[in-house]
Amino acid sequence: MRVFVTGATGFVGSAIVRELVGAGHQVLGLARSEASAQSLREAGAAVVKGNLEDLDSLKKGAIEADGVIHTAFIHDFSNFVAAAETDKRAIEAIGSVLAGSHRPFIVTGGILGLRNDGGLITEDDPAPGFPRASEATALSLAETGVHASVIRLPPSVHDAGDGGFVPFLINTAKTKGVSAYVGDGSNRWPAVHRLDAALLFRLALEKGTGGSRYNGIGDEGITVRKIAEVIGHQLNLPVVSITAEEAVGHFDWMSRFIMFNSPASSVKTRELLGWQPTHPGLLEDLDAGHYFGR
């Protein structure tokens, strides 16, 4: 299959490209720069020059492909609403090309915050359409004849090279001199290894059904306190509890996310696609040392 991948040189997207190429698929990767284009060529992929705001480049990639995997997102949490709107327009542009065909379109969504009552988030729990509209947009396209489905990723997609939420917590601990959690720290985050996530995208491309939600979950829920304790141990820093009011000053934009209690299940996803995570969990990955320069 010839697959167009947005975000193809990103942390998750680059692993998906390697997974697809290794399985015998041809890959077209979206590249914003010549450096990104060269990285894609070295990975065995062809290149479509463009970005999320260049809708013509997105349509070009989709036209040339037998399927599309959309992982690109502008991770600007200071202007999240605008980033979400850019993502929505990108999904709609790709969907306009795929309408009426059986070509699969896999869209990336997020799982943190879908529920905050401590109950397991399942594939049957819908995501709200605002501010991030990835899931709602993809599933609305599915209702109009696009073979679109959604893979929902947890807050921690971990592996060497991670630049997301957990590295932010580590850098905050270094800056503040303590590794903190809020309240009793019993709220839980799900997680998945990047290579397990990449396999899930391939399986959804090959075997998925339109209109489906898939949960990319390895660890169902790790307490934020435990994450803070591992970070404190690795950095030899005190581990402390702070109040919700103190969290804003301590964690900045992360203060909202650090308090989510969103454990999640992937039982249905595993049954439908035959997916089985095999790589280290988040705590094991943290203990390996590469998050701390070792």
pLDDT band at 17 (very low <50, low <70, confident <90, very high): very high
List CB contacts of 204: < 8 A, sequence separation 6 or more: 104, 106, 149, 151, 212, 214, 273
C-alpha span between 151 and 203 (Å, rounded): 11
H/E stretch holding 248:
helix 244-251
pLDDT band at 75 (very low <50, low <70, confident <90, very high): confident
Residue 79: per-residue pLDDT: 85
Residue 35: per-residue pLDDT: 96
pLDDT band at 265 (very low <50, low <70, confident <90, very high): very high
* Topology classification of domain 2-157+191-219+263-279: Rossmann fold (3.40.50)
Cis peptide before 155 (omega within 30 of 0): no
Q: Cβ(90)–Cβ(112) under 8 Å?
A: no
Q: Cβ(16)–Cβ(43) under 8 Å?
A: no
Average pLDDT over residues 276-292: 96
pTM equals 0.96
Nearest CA-CA partner of 173 in 250, 243, 76: 250
Average pLDDT over residues 201-228: 98
User: pLDDT tens digits, residue range 114-147?
Assistant: 887 889 999 999 998 888 999 999 999 999 999 9
Return the SS3 of 119: coil
User: pLDDT tens digits, residue range 138-154?
Assistant: 999 999 999 999 999 99
Q: What angle do CA 89, 197, 1 make, to 5 degrees?
A: 70
Give the pairing of strands 156-158 and 67-70.
unpaired
Half-sphere exposure of 217 toward its Cβ, with a 13 Å CA cutoff?
A: 27
Residue 106: per-residue pLDDT: 98
Return the SS3 of 227: helix
Residue 191: per-residue pLDDT: 98
Residue 50: per-residue pLDDT: 97
Average pLDDT over residues 163-191: 97
pLDDT band at 85 (very low <50, low <70, confident <90, very high): very high
Residue 115: per-residue pLDDT: 80
Q: Counting beta carbons within 10 angstroms of the beta carbon of residue 149, is it exposed (0 to 12), middle (13 to 18) or buried (19 or more)? A: buried
